[in-house]
Amino acid sequence: MSDLEIARAAKLAPIEEVGARIGLPAGALYRYGPHKAKVSLDHIASLGGKKSGKLILVTAINPTPAGEGKTTTTVGLGDALCAIGKRAMICLREPSLGPCFGMKGGAAGGGYAQVVPMDEINLHFTGDFHAITAANNLLAALIDNQVYWGNPLGIDPSKISWRRVMDMNDRALRDIVVGLGNNGQVREDGFDITVASEVMAIFCLATSLADLEERIDRIVVARDFAKKNVTAKQIQAAGAMSVLLRDAIQPNLVQTLEHTPAFVHGGPFANIAHGCNSVIATRTALKLADYVVTEAGFGADLGAEKFFDIKCRQSGLTPSAAVIVATVRALKMHGGVDKKELGRENVDAVKAGTANLLRHIENVRKFGVPVTVAINHFTADTKAETDVIAEACRQAGVHAHLCRHWADGGKGAEGLAHEVVRLCEEGSAFKPLYPDDMPLVDKIRTIAREIYRAADIALSPDAAKKLKQYESDGFGRLPVCMAKTQYSFTAEPDVRGAPSGFILPVRDVRLSAGAGFVVALCGDLMTMPGLPRDPAAYRIRIDKDGQIEGLF
């Protein structure tokens, strides 16, 4: 059966029963139908005095077209922890419509390790992304309205940095002209995808509604003719934007196929933004469960690094353990095998590809977090191939676990669950990669050298100028969010394996003062993706029974 067929065949528990498993009363839930709900901020505030559980990060090797299964493993591990008698929860990001209708597909797990209802989660869900899009674009409209009505703030239209967003891949909107037809000051503008927006980052890093509004106030939207920053506070936008986000900021509660409670909330991309679910959802889960399994987007070079250096740094969260997901198929590709040849046993290619996995293990250890490896099993994998991975990990002092959660649900990941519990009991010595007071350019260089293994960075003159300006404006203590291809340690998506000694190009930087980081744009990565030649949208439809087909 397909993932969607498996999800539809499942008997879902009423969302009140799911909440009761973690001590959430029905009165704390705002229902969105029978199987999904938001948790009220008032109830969340009442949990403040409770002891926090253990936080487990699921990350992965660099993704390939062969697939890794990070979300599936996150769900499988959460189910497995419950299966061995632990009080566990899952925290995931919400899927973006862009990948759903583009190339990547849905993001609710797969097989018998899914969060459900998967079709609703992958589409409009509870409307959070629409609220974030509306809030972002309200600010854009208010900025241009200021300029239109006499420009009392003296905004330089050529220095407006705030871009519009939409949650869809549309390359035609990357660069546009606004203000035509006597509708304001004509200027160049553009769209980013919603998940790349600063509002999305703020939404996921805010700790409360008050913090959300304060962060929105700090957003730098433009420069004025006196070369000073113009903020959202000066535009008087924060109040109205917070109203649009008031309901959205409450975490969304759903369940897995095995009824494990799951928060699915927020959704910044990890190749562009910081790639983690909301701080509010994670903190709340830690008050409700003894073990909380969360994920960070793409490979550990992006998602895990940002989880540690941005989310944990800002929120005070301390991860107890990390899981790195790998597949035989993906390691073959990192070992030089073409996608068409992945079905054949190739032990040498797997062995060569483990260099990528071992690099990620080394990197996670740099943060002082104990780590294990989940080998996400595919039916074509052979014992000789999985043994090669296990042996490489053993030599690195790490246990690798063959996991069959896609086929068997939580039962297929019980070995991994026992290992995670053991690591959590060992204790973590978590620390960020770099100190707050390091200069911004050195933070970028540290990530490039320590995590990517670059020899150095090549900073464009414009980027260097902006970094100096940010520091003179008082933003020098912010962490850095690297925007880079997810497919490689380098800025070149076709360079697989574990390259080193290259030069990482940093073509531009952007200030996200409200979110609390500086974005470094590396290589040709776009903040508004395009659709592929054969988009998934061609195969998505409603069948004669009113059911959605082709979503995953």
Active site members: 70, 72, 93, 104, 270, 298, 378, 406
d(CA 380, CA 166): 39
In order of 441, 442, 471, 475, 479, the CA distances from 437 in angstroms are 11, 10, 11, 10, 9
Task: Residue 78: name the closest of 408, 409, 398 by CA.
Answer: 409
Within 8 A by CB and 6+ apart from 487, the residues are 62, 63, 64, 493, 494, 496
> ω into residue 117 within 30 of 0, thus cis?
yes
- The two tokens of residue 81 are 């922890």
Candidates 426, 393, 323; CA nearest to 81 is 323
Residue written as token pair 């597949």: 327
Burial pattern 149-169, b for ≥16 Cβ within 10 A else e, equals eeeebebbbeebebbbbbbbb
Q: Residue 153 corresponds to which tokens in the numbers above?
A: 């703030």
Cβ-based neighbours of 10, under 8 Å, separated by 6 or more: 116, 257
Reduced to 3 states, what is the DSSP secondary structure of residue 483?
strand
Instruction: Give the H/E segment covering residue 133.
Output: helix 128-148
Which helix (H) or strand (E) segment holds residue 38: the answer is: strand 37-39
Alpha carbons 381 and 389: distance in angstroms, whole number: 12
Using DSSP, state whether 471 is helix, strand or coil. Answer: helix
Which pair of tokens denotes residue 537? Answer: 């949208």
522 and 505 Cβ atoms separated by less than 8 Å: yes
Is residue 547 a contact partner of residue 8, using CB atoms and an 8 Å limit? yes
Q: Rounded to an integer, what distance in angstroms lies between the CA atom of residue 506 and that of residue 290?
A: 41
- Please say whether the beta carbons of 25 and 15 come within 8 A: no
**Which 3 state secondary structure label does DSSP give 503?**
strand
| Half-sphere exposure at residue 345, Cβ-oriented, CA atoms within 13 angstroms | 9
Counting every residue, how long is the chain? 552
Burial of 146 (0-12, 13-18, 19+ CB in 10 A): buried
